[in-house]
């Protein structure tokens, strides 16, 4: 069945929505009405659940794709259906099987700790080299690295101020400790002298350190991963470099117990330590061992 006229009118009159949202609505409508032969008012919650099952069983959708269409169905139907219908569909969607959180990390989609230095050195140019270092050595998100300013660096303490996610007064700000070697390379790239790098004199440079587009980093990240013949290189993104930092951080500090986990939480800017705990599992560091080590440190 073709997309009903009522739905087509709605799609054509969408205003105040992002291009991505509009495209997602249009995509959902095409796929959904290629499966179902009903007008909007006739559609039931059961129809939508059958549609999702059809996608998995007959079209080979992954669970992530199925859940994406489930969310789209919920948002789309909210434009046409009443509260009772929406309450029922939300209940059904909550019961759908979930994808494993951080599945890509369990598959090993990150730069291994013993190849981090090699990855950085294989960057196509010096500016990318410095960007890679900020991500893999400091645990920054890509946008955080690209927005890093000289004014955010305290060379004397080897500490940086990171302005993370959010906007205005809600923007998360955190202090991150960094190693002096990578810090020296970053400041050296900016033309800072030895006294500035050591922190004995203030930094003279102002403004941003990096002046490249995020897309440039993303494209070259995959090229570097391919050059090094890393597994899953096609899936690797700069954000996986942040995961690489976290896993390597814990592996090198197993003996520090809970202190290492707490510090990593602060380094990454997580608001909840449960988010940080995922790296305990992936790094092979036993949570019980880390906890016990922390207890021993407290009693010594």
What secondary structure does DSSP assign to 247-280, as a single string? Answer: HHHHHTTGGGTHHHHHHHHHHHT-SSHHHHHHHH
Range of lowest pLDDT (48-52, 74-78, 98-102, 284-288): 284-288
CB 269 within 8 A of CB 172: yes
**Residue 268: which domain range?**
113-299
Is there a single domain that holds both residue 86 and residue 227? Answer: no
What is the band of 272 on the pLDDT scale with cuts at 50, 70, 90? confident
CB 140 within 8 A of CB 162: yes
What is the band of 187 on the pLDDT scale with cuts at 50, 70, 90? very high
Alpha carbon distance 134, 37 (integer Å): 53
Q: Mean pLDDT throughout 126-135?
A: 97
Q: Per DSSP, what are the bridge partners of residue 177? A: 159
Boundary residue ending a domain (41, 66, 94): 94
pLDDT tens-digit series, residues 256-270 = 878 888 999 999 999
Rg (CA), the chain: 24
Is there a single domain that holds both residue 121 and residue 269? Answer: yes
pLDDT of residue 24: 85
Boundary residue ending a domain (66, 94, 122): 94
Alpha carbon distance 295, 291 (integer Å): 6
> HSE (CB half, 13 Å, CA atoms) of 165?
5
127 or 7: whose pLDDT is higher?
127
pLDDT of residue 256: 82
User: Can you give the CATH number for the domain in which 36 is found?
Assistant: 1.10.150
pLDDT of residue 169: 42
65 or 118: whose pLDDT is higher?
118
Q: Mean pLDDT throughout 229-249?
A: 93
Q: Is 183's pLDDT higher than 90?
A: yes
Domain-embedded: residue 104: no
16 or 61: whose pLDDT is higher?
61
Is there a single domain that holds both residue 165 and residue 266? Answer: yes
Containing 22, the helix (H) or strand (E) segment is helix 19-35
Sign of the torsion formed by the C-alpha atoms of 291, 293, 297 and 299: positive
Q: Report the predicted TM-score, pTM, of the whole model to 2 decimal places.
A: 0.65
Boundary residue ending a domain (94, 121, 141): 94
pLDDT of residue 104: 77
Is there a single domain that holds both residue 149 and residue 179? Answer: yes
pLDDT tens-digit series, residues 148-177 = 999 999 999 999 999 876 544 445 789 999
Alpha carbon distance 279, 287 (integer Å): 10
Answer left, alpha or beta for residue 247, where phi above 0 means left and psi between -120 and 50 means alpha.
Answer: alpha
User: Can you give the CATH number for the domain in which 179 is found?
Assistant: 1.10.443.10
pLDDT tens-digit series, residues 217-230 = 999 999 999 999 99
Is there a single domain that holds both residue 186 and residue 71? Answer: no
Give percent of the chain above pLDDT 90: 56
Q: Is 296's pLDDT higher than 90?
A: no
Sign of the torsion formed by the C-alpha atoms of 15, 19, 22 and 26: positive
pLDDT of residue 168: 45
Alpha carbon distance 5, 257 (integer Å): 62
Is there a single domain that holds both residue 204 and residue 55? Answer: no
Alpha carbon distance 165, 171 (integer Å): 6
What is the band of 100 on the pLDDT scale with cuts at 50, 70, 90? low
Is there a single domain that holds both residue 81 and residue 206? Answer: no
Is there a single domain that holds both residue 174 and residue 272? Answer: yes
What is the band of 197 on the pLDDT scale with cuts at 50, 70, 90? very high
pLDDT of residue 286: 55
Is there a single domain that holds both residue 28 and residue 132? Answer: no
Is there a single domain that holds both residue 175 and residue 283? Answer: yes
Is there a single domain that holds both residue 160 and residue 221? Answer: yes
What is the band of 2 on the pLDDT scale with cuts at 50, 70, 90? confident
CB 91 within 8 A of CB 105: no
Alpha carbon distance 59, 157 (integer Å): 56
Domain-embedded: residue 132: yes
CB 181 within 8 A of CB 170: no
Containing 162, the helix (H) or strand (E) segment is strand 159-163
Number of domains composing the chain: 2
Residue 208 φ then ψ, to 5°: -70, 150
């Amino acid at each position: 069945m073709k997309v009903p006229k009522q739905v087509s009118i709605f799609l054509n009159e969408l205003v105040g929505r992002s291009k991505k949202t509009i495209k997602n609505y249009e995509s959902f409508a095409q796929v959904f009405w290629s499966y179902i032969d009903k007008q909007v008012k006739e559609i039931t919650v059961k129809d939508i659940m059958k549609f999702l099952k059809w996608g998995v069983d007959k079209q080979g959708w992954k669970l992530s794709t199925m859940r994406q269409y489930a969310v789209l169905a919920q948002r789309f139907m909210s434009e046409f259906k009443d509260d009772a219908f929406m309450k029922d569909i939300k209940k059904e969607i909550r019961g759908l099987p979930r994808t494993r959180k951080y599945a890509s990390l369990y598959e090993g989609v990150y730069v291994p700790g013993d190849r981090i230095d090699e990855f950085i050195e294989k960057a196509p140019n010096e500016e990318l080299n410095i960007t890679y270092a900020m991500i893999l050595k400091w645990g920054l998100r890509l946008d955080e690295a690209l927005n890093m300013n000289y004014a955010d660096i305290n060379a004397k303490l080897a500490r940086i101020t990171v302005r993370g996610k959010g906007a205005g007064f809600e923007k998360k700000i955190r202090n991150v400790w960094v190693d002096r070697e990578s810090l020296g390379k970053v400041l050296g790239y900016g033309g800072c002298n030895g006294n500035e790098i050591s922190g004995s004199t203030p930094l003279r440079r102002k403004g941003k350190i990096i002046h490249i587009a995020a897309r440039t980093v993303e494209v070259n990240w995959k090229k570097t991963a391919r050059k090094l013949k890393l597994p899953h290189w096609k899936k690797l993104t700069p954000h996986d470099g942040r995961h690489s930092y976290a896993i390597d951080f814990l592996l090198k500090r197993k003996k520090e117990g809970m202190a290492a986990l707490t510090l990593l939480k602060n380094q990454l800017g997580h608001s909840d330590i449960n988010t940080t705990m995922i790296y305990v599992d992936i790094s092979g560091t036993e949570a019980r061992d880390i906890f016990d080590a922390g207890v021993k440190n407290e009693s010594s």
